[in-house]
């Protein structure tokens, strides 16, 4: 069964990759560089999803004290951090092409930097506590505390201050910014493909993490 799911996801992602490169037409004005949206947007969405998941699992951990929730919170945070790094890199490359500069401390760039710092600090904290039970508790508390600063980073800074960042593709006004149906198709396929990939890695990582922790316990 896992192999079937894996093959299925692999097929979708190959389709997205080929579609993004050959199937979709180049965009007006932005030209070929616009193809970054098939990767940058899904990756950013996954990191938001993973961080929300991490927050939710941290809350659950404090409620139940079940280590399983801590495993999920840690795995989500780790995946979120990796996808966030990918979003930063794809964003910087696109910024060079479209805005003529890799990095300009645009509000979006400020908020993603702080986001990266938050979760690096989260892992810093995890590695600095030796007792497993204390580590889980403190990490969950920090995760929740950091989330109080998060709305500021995610929603306020980029949306209110004038930013060079293009408006989000699917916005609250309901007007869809992607006009060509082929682009739309590949874009949504990319969103679905990346989300499935995320869940697939997530499930596998949880299994790995369980084994790692079981080994650590038996070593002691």
Size of the site for another protein (CB under 8 A): 60
Distance in Å, CB of 31 to another protein, minimum: 7
Q: Which is nearer to another protein, 58 or 201 (CB)?
A: 58
> Helix 67-98 and helix 107-128: axis angle, to 10°?
150
Classify residue 79 as exposed, middle or buried by CB count within 10 Å of its CB (0-12, 13-18, 19+). Answer: buried
Q: Is 129 exposed, middle or buried (0-12, 13-18, 19+ CB in 10 A)?
A: middle
Q: Which of residues 175-194 bind another protein (CB under 8 A)?
A: 177-180, 182-183
Contact call for residue 60 and another protein (CB under 8 A): no
Among 75-83, 174-182, 194-202, 207-215, the segment contacting another protein (CB under 8 A)? 174-182
Computed on alpha carbons and rounded to an integer, the radius of gyration of the chain in Å comes to 19
The residue behind tokens 């930013």 is 163
Q: What are phi and psi of 31, to 5 degrees?
A: 65, -140
- CA 81, CA 70: separation in Å to the nearest integer? 16
Find the shortest distance in angstroms from Cβ 216 to another protein: 17
121 lines the binding site for another protein (CB under 8 A): yes
Whole-angstrom CA distances from 138 to 59, 71, 102, 130 are: 12, 14, 36, 11
Q: Does 93 bind another protein (CB under 8 A)?
A: no
Contact window for another protein (CB under 8 A) among 6-14, 49-57, 74-82, 161-169: 161-169
Where does residue 109 rank: exposed (0-12), middle (13-18), buried (19+ CB within 10 A)?
buried
Nearer residue to another protein within complex by CB, 8 or 155 = 155
Nearest alpha carbon to residue 167 among 103, 108, 89: 108
Q: Site map for another protein, 30-59, x if CB under 8 A?
A: xx--x--x----------------------
**Given the complex with another protein, which of 83 and 142 has the nearer CB atom?**
142
Residues that bind another protein (CB under 8 A): 25-31, 34, 37, 62, 98-101, 104-107, 114-115, 117-118, 120-121, 124-125, 128-131, 134, 137-138, 140-142, 144-146, 148-149, 151-153, 155-156, 160-162, 164-167, 169, 177-180, 182-183
């Amino acid at each position: 069964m896992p192999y079937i799911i894996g093959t299925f996801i692999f097929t979708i992602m190959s389709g997205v990759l080929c579609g993004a490169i050959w199937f979709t037409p180049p965009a007006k004005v932005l030209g070929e560089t616009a193809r970054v949206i098939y990767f940058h947007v899904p990756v950013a969405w996954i990191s938001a999803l993973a961080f929300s998941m991490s927050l939710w699992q941290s809350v659950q951990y404090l409620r139940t004290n079940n280590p399983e929730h801590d495993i999920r919170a840690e795995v989500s945070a780790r995946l979120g951090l990796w996808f966030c790094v990918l979003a930063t890199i794809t964003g910087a490359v696109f910024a060079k092409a479209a805005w003529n500069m890799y990095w300009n401390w645009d509000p979006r760039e400020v908020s993603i930097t702080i986001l990266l710092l938050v979760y690096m600090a989260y892992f810093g904290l995890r590695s600095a506590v030796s007792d497993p039970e204390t580590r889980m508790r403190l990490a969950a508390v920090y995760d929740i505390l950091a989330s109080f600063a998060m709305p500021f980073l995610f929603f306020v800074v980029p949306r209110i201050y004038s930013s060079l960042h293009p408006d989000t593709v699917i916005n609250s006004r309901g007007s869809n910014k992607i006009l060509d149906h082929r682009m739309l198709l590949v874009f949504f396929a990319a969103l679905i493909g990346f989300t499935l990939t995320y869940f697939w890695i997530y499930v596998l990582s949880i299994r790995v993490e369980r084994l790692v922790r079981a080994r650590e316990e038996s070593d002691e």
